[in-house]
Amino acid sequence: MSPSKLEAVQLRRLYTGEVWQQARRHIDQLPAGAPPVPAAGTPAQEWLEARVLLGLLEHRNVYTRYPFGVTAVHPDPTGVTLRVESEQRAAEILFNLLPASGSNGEVWGVPGLRITRRLATRIELRVLGQPARLWLTGLPSTVWRSAEKLMLEMWLDGVQLYWRSSPRAWTDAERAHQARWDDEDDHFVRVQRRGAWLGSGLLRRLGLLHTVANTFFVDGYRGSAFDTVRLILRSSHVLDLGPGPHHIASALLDPVFGLPLHLKRFRGDTDESYGSDQHFVLADPQKTVLLELRTTRERPPSRLPSELWERILRRLPDKELFAPLTPSTLAGMCGLEVKE
């Protein structure tokens, strides 16, 4: 393997969290000029992945070893596979993605999304009638079944589970919800679809959170903006242990493996050992998206079991894995003068 290909494999592993063999297989199969982390192949796939990322960010109730409970992602143009850490995390993901509604008729989850295939270690979720799919893998079929049962226990009585009552067709309630909230003639919907590449691109690089930085918790939400998609990610990082959170911003700015973003604003202390917050704002030249990374260096919460905390510490990355732009360099890119 040539040095350049070796480096490409190493970098892909940082972005996806894949094992060496998986990353090398993908790099070996790359057509000339193709990006090492491919984008979604269709607008429908891109839109689904953006919805999935938002679901992962907005509904966080479980602490496990990996920030989202996803140990690795396997992106290809036709879809993306998430390797899920545990039954508990699998139940949480299914709970937040599969469509259901309460007595008021409000639809939660992704309308039209169904479990369409079950294999030995993975399940496939598709939006019915659309070329959009998501694979969840990493657990035996029996555990996926038990994760579904665990997820069902989370729902209160009176909730309608559309993915169970209508496994092969959209329900009228889902169609009505789609018509109301996903009307492509609506300005807000057009903006969100135009900027869906950001959520999709981040989902396909989810490994960064635990390969180049010492992240132990992430959540976030979609912020308000008129003509851009504004996405806010809030992350907690281990104080004084492992690489700092600015490694994530630096990796996203990489011209080959990152996303087409530039640093718009940066606030925070430049001393990596200092336990202050850092705030990065990244945007694209076309002004379709705005990504805010709000990072905090802190001790773990008291409710985090000590055994789990030790497991988190054991998976912290080597500081030499990635050579990032320093905080002061990032600040300088914004035209700021920062003292070291």
Question: Residue 42 CB: number of other CB atoms within 10 A?
Answer: 14
**Token pair of 55, please?**
């679901």
Task: Tell me which residues of the chain have a pLDDT lower than 70.
Answer: 1-3, 268-276, 318-340
- What integer pLDDT is reported at residue 338 of this predicted model? 40
**Token pair of 263, please?**
């640093």
pTM confidence score: 0.91
Q: 137-164: per-residue pLDDT in tens? A: 999 999 999 999 999 888 877 789 999 9
Q: 54-75: per-residue pLDDT in tens? A: 999 987 777 888 989 999 999 9
- What integer pLDDT is reported at residue 30 of this predicted model? 86
- What integer pLDDT is reported at residue 238 of this predicted model? 81
**Token pair of 99, please?**
């469509």
Q: 95 burial class (0-12, 13-18, 19+ CB within 10 angstroms)?
A: buried
CA–CA separation, 122 and 72 (whole Å) = 14
CA–CA separation, 145 and 121 (whole Å) = 11
